[in-house]
Amino acid sequence: MTAAPTDPYADRIIDAAYALLSRHGLRRTTISDVVRESGVSRATLFRRFPSRSDLFSALMSREVTAFLSDLEQRLDEIADPVDRLVETFVRFCEVAPLNPVLRRLVESDPDTVLPHLTTNAEPILAFGRQFMMRELTRLTDFGYRLTASPEVCTDLITRISHSYLLLPPALPELVDHDLARKLFRATIIRMVIAD
């Protein structure tokens, strides 16, 4: 994944929004708060993010991109494509409970945030689909047969993974990463690998 060119002002604004949303949630964070926290002018903020919704979308996109970049680095150490897919699911189970903004927003502002993560989640799901398609291509390159078209399998895995971000796993089988690996190998992997 290549890094997009950075805008130091946009980064400062998003960093400020991240800090404020982690502490206060969405309802109690205003644009004025973000301006104060970031140290930029309102005009600078609005040139980069014309609305509060645009700022929130940029923050979510940055978080997803950072998550996938970190995941790719972890997967670089794993050659077997099935193991890579299993580790992807384990990582989703690890990250969901730990992201302070995601947890805070889902708890404090579900009516505002959940549409961005569900009915309006297409930009986030597109990142995930792109990532999963690469992983499934790796599977087929290694000679595995998929249970359906790559697009259908990609969509299935992306949606299941996405659900772990929305609701952190509570079952002991998913909190214990060794047990989660066994469970994912026995269930989800069999949904997409025909062999």
Q: Is the pLDDT of residue 16 over 80?
A: yes
How many CA atoms are closer than 13 Å to the CA of 115, on its beta-carbon side? 4
pLDDT tier for residue 14 given thresholds of 50, 70 and 90: very high
Residue 86 CA, distance from chain mean position: 16
Q: What pLDDT does 44 receive?
A: 96
Question: Is residue 169 within 8 Å of 175, Cβ to Cβ?
Answer: yes
Task: For domain 7-50, give the fold.
Answer: Arc Repressor Mutant, subunit A (1.10.10)
pLDDT at 3 over 50: no
Matching CATH number, 52-192, of 1.10.357, 1.10.150, 2.60.40, 3.30.310: 1.10.357
Domains 7-50 and 52-192 alike in fold? no
Q: Is the pTM for the entire model greater than 0.75?
A: no
Most confident of 91-100, 131-140, 155-164, 172-181: 131-140
Q: What is the largest CA-CA distance in the chain?
A: 58
Distance (Å, rounded) from C-alpha 143 to C-alpha 146? 10
Q: Looking at residues 139-161, what average pLDDT do you find?
A: 92
Rg of the chain in Å (alpha carbons): 18
Q: Which of 46-50, 80-84, 103-107, 155-159 has the lowest mean pLDDT?
A: 103-107
Domain ranges for the chain:
7-50, 52-192
53-75 per-position pLDDT tens digit: 899 888 888 887 888 788 889 89
